[in-house]
Amino acid sequence: MTNQVLTEFLLHIGDSQLILSHRLAEWCGHAPELELDIALANIGLDLLGQARTALSLAGEVEGLGRDEDKLAYFRTEREYRNLLLSEQPNGDIAQTIVRQWLMDHYHALLFGALVQSQHAALSAFAVKTLKEVKYHLRFSTAWMERLSLGTAEAHDKIQHGLNQLWRFTEELFVLTADEKQLVESGVIPEGGALKKQWLDTIQSELNRFQLTLPETGAYRSGAKQGLHTEHLGYVLAELQYVQRSYPNMNW
């Protein structure tokens, strides 16, 4: 049971990074300035590398002979476990920055805690990933500050992006009943304490950016049960097209 639960947790991590990476790749050649274009592409590549590591580890723990390619390209929408926040459309550049900033703060806490994991491979993965996450967070925070404290139009767009995405943040730190076994064995952190730290930090930063925390409302969740928004199917159709059209092809 422990291996199955750990596999699901690793798929949750790997899928979230993979889908967020794909979203950032959609900006390649389309971002409003060259520096931003290159930065988003590089962050996307970091996330892709993290996805490969997490999915490879998931395949090893699962023990069914599926590597990262099989897991990425040959699972259906309902089999994906990525966070709903990661699959949301880019919108304008302000909404993309807000999404990245929310995810970066989540990643900083999650991987910071996973460094202490009793699972050696997961801990090593977290140590490497945390170095990248710190850069990602500096980048997204700098752009949040630049846009929210810039022109009135930029401020309004950042606030609009935050309002659009906030309903997908509730599930960031939600653990399943089975995952609590991993908490008890010291493999993964308990979600409640991380959530409080995340909310406190987000609120403090929003005050600094002169932004308003959206009202709590109808939160969306379901990632770990394979219940996604309508957007994931379109992402997977593009992501998986070549392998599904020409299975087992190599470069």
Is 2's pLDDT higher than 90? no
Which pLDDT does position 219 carry in this prediction? 78
**Interval 8-51: pLDDT, tens:** 999 999 999 999 999 999 999 999 999 999 999 999 999 999 99
Per-position b or e across 32-49, b if 16+ CB within 10 A of its CB:
eeeebeebbbebbebbbe
Owning domain of residue 60: 2-245
Name, in order, each residue with C-beta under 8 angstroms of 177's C-beta and a sequence gap of 6 or more.
none
CA distances from 80 to 2, 8, 30, 36, 95 (A): 20, 10, 28, 29, 24
Percentage of the chain exceeding pLDDT 90: 92
Name, in order, each residue with C-beta under 8 angstroms of 179's C-beta and a sequence gap of 6 or more.
5, 8, 9, 188
Residue 233 lies in a domain: yes
Name, in order, each residue with C-beta under 8 angstroms of 187's C-beta and a sequence gap of 6 or more.
6, 117, 118, 119, 122
Residue 251 lies in a domain: no
Q: Stretch 94-98: mean pLDDT, rounded?
A: 98
Which pLDDT does position 231 carry in this prediction? 97
**Interval 132-176: pLDDT, tens:** 999 999 999 999 999 999 999 999 999 999 999 999 999 999 999
Is 1's pLDDT higher than 80? no
Which pLDDT does position 218 carry in this prediction? 65
Is 103's pLDDT higher than 70? yes
The number of folded domains in the chain is: 1
pLDDT-based confidence at residue 214 (cuts at 50, 70, 90): very high
Eight-class DSSP state of 227: -
As separate numbers, helices (DSSP H) first and strands (DSSP E) second, the chain gives 11, 0
Q: Stretch 59-65: mean pLDDT, rounded?
A: 96
Name, in order, each residue with C-beta under 8 angstroms of 250's C-beta and a sequence gap of 6 or more.
none
Residue 65 sits in a domain whose CATH number is: 1.20.1260.10
Residue 230 lies in a domain: yes
In 3-state terms, what secondary structure has residue 67? coil
CA dist 55 and 15 (Å) reads 8
pLDDT averaged over every residue in the chain: 95
Nearest CA to 122 among 7, 219, 26, 34?
7
Q: Stretch 164-192: mean pLDDT, rounded?
A: 94
Residue 232 lies in a domain: yes
Residue 250 lies in a domain: no
